[in-house]
Structure 1
Amino acid sequence: MNPYYLLMPRENFGVADTAPDAPGFQRSLAHKLRTSGRIDDEQDVRWFYQGDVPPPDWVWGLWMIPLLSDRFRAVIDAHLTPTDDLQWLPMTLRTKGGDEARRWVPHFPGERDILDPEWTQWGPSGLPIRWFLSAPKIEGISVTERPNVAGHLIVNGDVMRALRRAKLTGYRALRARVADQ
């Protein structure tokens, strides 16, 4: 079976904030990203990156919103399968120097049951504390996220290898736990 990886921002990742003229946008978008259904009222909001170095391919927006570069999106798009359900939301990232670049926020609109109910340890709230992917449930999926948790990506080994070959920056990868492996 193809291995799976959990992608998250690096420890010293770039952080971006939205413009003052977009109050409440981050919280509203974060809520929408954690719920099912397509986001039809998307708006291209400008995010400001205050780093002293060029922004990495994965910039972490406040409220755990990943802002991915065109290169990052291209790698993922090249590996999507008919099983994948992914919507890209366009955003703009502006640097201290005034340069602007297109960024993309991934959204997974469909309900996805990918966790193994027997191996996953569940908390009193019903949310997973220590989670395991279910091998049969993730078969054929190249990219997704944990249920009810936006901001991190789960990718298969093919996508992971392509991300490494592309030398993308700003993220780190951990091998995801898959039940019965």
Structure 2
Amino acid sequence: MKLSAPLALLFLLCADGSGSAVSHPKPPCRYPPSQWCRSLEIAIECKVQKQCMEVNATRPNQAVPPVSVTLYYESLCPACRVFITQQLFPTWTMLQDIMAVTLVPYGNAKELPSPNSPFTCQHGEPECRGNLIEACIIHLTRHSSLQIIYCMESAADVLNAAKPEYSEENEDKAMSSLFNLVCQLYKVRTCLC
């Protein structure tokens, strides 16, 4: 198992009475600091096993790929909403360093043309609209899409929770005072989520 850590070592030079510099003795370790956490044996020999364990406990093992979770769902499906808000998002919040999430709206949609859409959704046209909004969010925001979709799915009204995402009015406000707009939208979202 390869363990590495960006440990910094500070060498102090002390002045003796004559003004010349004398270095402190080196630690009883034959490895450079960059390799101290490379293995447990090296960490023990260099007497830094506690520090190496602390550093490595906060970082995932890069040699192990993250767990992939793909969710096919519908935006207005009650069971999907419960799963996203009570299982998926809380788990991802705690384990996002070792978890890769892919969201696929339209999980139960059918390609049956209707008057307003090329899709027919299990919970009707509003769900197709919600699925379309969430698909656009996923496409445009990538890494932050799960937070936005969680906000929507945990709201009492999924479609209305999506409305503050974009408007020409917000674009104008952003151009004149982005700081004020961000604060205003933050207050709105804390009420919706």
Instruction: Give the TM-score category using the shorter length.
Output: under 0.3
What is the TM-score of this pair, normalised by structure 1?
A: 0.25
The answer to which structure, 1 or 2, has the higher relative contact order (CA under 8 A, 6+ apart) is: 1
* Structure with the largest fraction of helix: 2
What is the TM-score of this pair, normalised by structure 2?
A: 0.24
* Structure with the largest fraction of strand: 1
